[in-house]
Amino acid sequence: MFGRIDHIGLAVADLESAIELHTRTYGMPLVHRETIAEQGVEAVLLDVGESHVELLRPLSEDSPVGRFLAKKGPGLHHVAYQVDDVEAALGAAREAGMRLIDETPRTGIRGTQVAFLHPATAGGVLTELVQPVEAH
Amino acid sequence: MFGRIDHIGLAVADLESAIELHTRTYGMPLVHRETIAEQGVEAVLLDVGESHVELLRPLSEDSPVGRFLAKKGPGLHHVAYQVDDVEAALGAAREAGMRLIDETPRTGIRGTQVAFLHPATAGGVLTELVQPVEAH
């Protein structure tokens, strides 16, 4: 069902410091930057192998990432797996009895179709399914 | 410096349920299982693309993963990046002013050479450097 790790999402308070760490010290190329108003974040993608690191800076304290930061501080926020067909994957997760955050896919970063699975039935991990634009 | 995501490490309380979720629902092949007494964990590796998911069950409550579970519950524990030369990567991290957990590499899962960077200077992320056995 899952082809690869699409990205790991990190909650950051200081986006420029996080970019500096990942580009200069870790040597990851910055490949995309986008404000996703619907999710209340400014997001930055860095390349690492076939995957990305996604840095997430909340646009307000009253957003999911803003509340995460206030409660837990910066760090690992979610993992995203690439799937060929996010609707089918979401259906399979539902069939397996998993709790869904998104009942239907929505548009994510760079025009991808995405859906989140609730940590409660995903081993405590906020888990995102990502269907890349080029897959369909 | 970092070639790919080697693995994401998940702290789990119930290893068999976590294996079931990842193999049956997510379709990831289980490729390795090992007790690493030095780190106080039973570890399971699952394949996903060029990376792995590493499930970590603590052998005792008084171990790093045991304390993590008690404090935060199951979920994302660390991310590991693959490097060609872990000593060189550790030196570069030290030069960049990063706080190290391991001053010198040690043997990790499947005979890899590994070293951990402290979350304090790694954006709140417990970060592992992994040199695969086949690289040298």
Question: For B35-75, how does the pLDDT look when each residue is reduced to its tens digit (9 = 90+)?
Answer: 998 889 999 999 999 999 999 999 999 999 999 999 999 99
Which residues does chain A have within 8 Å of residue B125's beta carbon, measured at their own beta carbons?
10, 74-76
Q: Which class is A4-135 in CATH?
A: alpha beta
ipTM of this complex prediction, to 2 decimal places: 0.95
The answer to whether the CB of B99 falls within 8 A of the CB of B121 is yes
Identify the closest residue of chain B to A125 by CA–CA distance. B75
> Cα B97 from chain centroid?
22
Q: How far is CA A122 from CA A9, A13, B19, B37, B82, in A?
A: 16, 26, 11, 27, 25
**Segments making up each domain of chain B, as ranges:** 4-135
Q: What is the pLDDT of residues A67-126, one digit of tens each?
A: 999 999 999 999 999 999 999 999 999 999 999 999 999 999 898 999 999 999 999 999
Which residues does chain A have within 8 Å of residue B124's beta carbon, measured at their own beta carbons?
10-11, 73-76
Interchain contact A4–B (C-beta under 8 A) = yes
